[in-house]
Structure 1
Amino acid sequence: MFRKVLIANRGEIAIRVMRACRELGVKTVAVYSEVDKNALFAKYADEAYLIGPAPASQSYLNMDVILDVAHKASAEGIHPGYGFLSENAEFSERCEKEGIKFIGPSGKAIKSVGSKIAAKKTMAVAGIPIIPGSESGISDLDEARDIASSIGYPVIVKASAGGGGIGMKVVRKGEELVPSIESAQRVAKSSFSDSTVFIEKYLEEPRHIEFQILADSYGNIIHVGDRECSIQRRHQKLIEESPSPVMTPKLRKKMGADAVKAAATINYINAGTIEFLYSKGNYYFLEMNTRLQVEHPITEVVTGVDLAKEQLRIAAGEKLSYEQKDIKQTGWAIECRLNAEDPLNNFTPS
């Protein structure tokens, strides 16, 4: 096990990881921006270092400074939490090159599912159901019209590099397609520096179901049950619950097996989440999140598995503490998110 770990994050998730470290006898290092100098997480850690001013680009996203602190503090590993650098393949690779363990997947694994188009191709080859749509980014508008016509309206235009619903456009009629593609491309370019978009069949009123994955470096992979996050606002999750209210033992076994297969396909190691859309008795791969999810505590509540501790053990080279037969979901857990919106500006996120 590690002797000391740096947590490259702030707030609740930093405290969560520090608590897991403390219970495993691991010393912790916090990094904080000027505005967070009196925050609880900065006081809770065994050591804390100022890394820059309030803007994240100058602090929590500054790889050079964070790695410099890790070396100064003699931290053996870095836990990225969620958000910030948690799904940054370059950061994972830099940690590896500098002899610091990234407590998460490899940069190669992150890259393999970072593009939604590439991820869909990979899962299709593995035999996992995917939503019908374009096989590559849209570059020809006439081809886009043909694809939309062949799969049937409504369709949805998505940013390949995106997340959180940014750049998504639902298209219900042919005349809406080109303006929607052009709008999605502009948003994708400004938000992700990648204008690539693709088309999928739009599923009406689907269920959004995800499976928590744990995988060690010895080839052991399990799923830690399911969560549902269908109740959303502006494509952002509002309520998550575990288990899903529509899940049956037979469906859980089948979807869980495909989730494990998805992780195995990209040689995934550590914690991750495979997300599916479920509609009218069928399910389809949506995307993979290569980090600990915000909603991970509800899985911990119903299974008794401490996901943060398992992340640390896996990264330290230990085998999984559980086999699939050990995972049981007992009871029910719900997480609700509070969102800040501006009522004077059409309730846009503030």
Structure 2
Amino acid sequence: MNFEHTEDRRMLADTLNRFVAEQYGFDTRNAIAYGDVGMQPALWAQFAELGAIGALFTEADGGFGGAGFDVAVVFEALGRGLVVEPFLGALVVGRALAAAGTPAQKEQIASLIDGSTVAALAHDEPGSHYEMARVSTRAVRSEGGWALTGAKAVVVQGDNAQLLLVSARTAGAVDSEDGISLFLVPADAAGVARRGMGRIDGGRVAEITLDNVQLGADALLGTEGQGFATLEIAVGWGILALCAEALGAMEVAKKDTLEYLQTRKQFGVPIGSFQALQHRMADLLLEVEQSRSAVINAAAAMDSADRVERERALSAAKFTIGRIGALVSEESIQMHGGIGMTWELPLSHYAKRLVMIDHELGDEDHHLARYMALG
């Protein structure tokens, strides 16, 4: 198998890496990430103009990429710059629309690609602990449509989104895969309450409460009670994206640590000349390459027609990224010494992001158990 990117993907990667380096420097990023909004609309529009969002979707859906490796290229570049703009929501919601939407619903993908609509997945609930089928939010038929009631937790960029993809139960037990339906909910609909808050690693999340939210019949995405399969596909793309983002962050942490070992002197020589640190750094380099292999495997599996093969590759990658991300964070900080924990050093922010990626869409323990269950 040829693991080299196509010329188009290399050009996309170069363009994104250059844009992030020039326009999304560390100080700029932190001002955005820890600000009251948690994103920069002007930069989001520029990312859209560059085609960074369009690369996440196929030509049939209005994009120009859409393969697993296209998604990986984009999110690896975003990980290098710790970009907090709402790419993940655009990808997950857009992929759900592409997989199950009516022609009229699919028209909304265009507004995701051009950046005019910010979307967010509102699926996780208090106490769900990563279990995708555990949904207690209820949707019942009302006159001419549906009424939704429930609560969603830790919705990424949920307070900035105009469009929410909400999972709700229309039948079945609270943890059953059957009976889950998906709904497209305008964030300003009557009965939707959002409480935004900052994330420890930058950006924003929101708690969302749905109080008898009235929706038309056209809000239902896909077939009633059969939303789990669509949700699994959409979340799968999100898992690949997070793994690629983590890989980009690891590459920067690795590079910065190597540079520090080569320049920091002790006893008149660079500390990188000490054999103990050389061994630790060599182990770290090998682990990062293992992460890259896992991301490549997951990206390739996204084109597989076999569900089990795809989901096992995704869970294997998420487990690997979770384990190695924590290792890279710990080792890089330790090899930097006390300075590694300071706010002023970018490394501490990369370490926080790597640790938090492990907890998005299932941590390493969850995905290890899932990988074995899928076997």
When normalised by structure 2's length, the TM-score is: 0.27
Considering fraction of residues, name the structure with more strand: 1
Considering fraction of residues, name the structure with more helix: 2
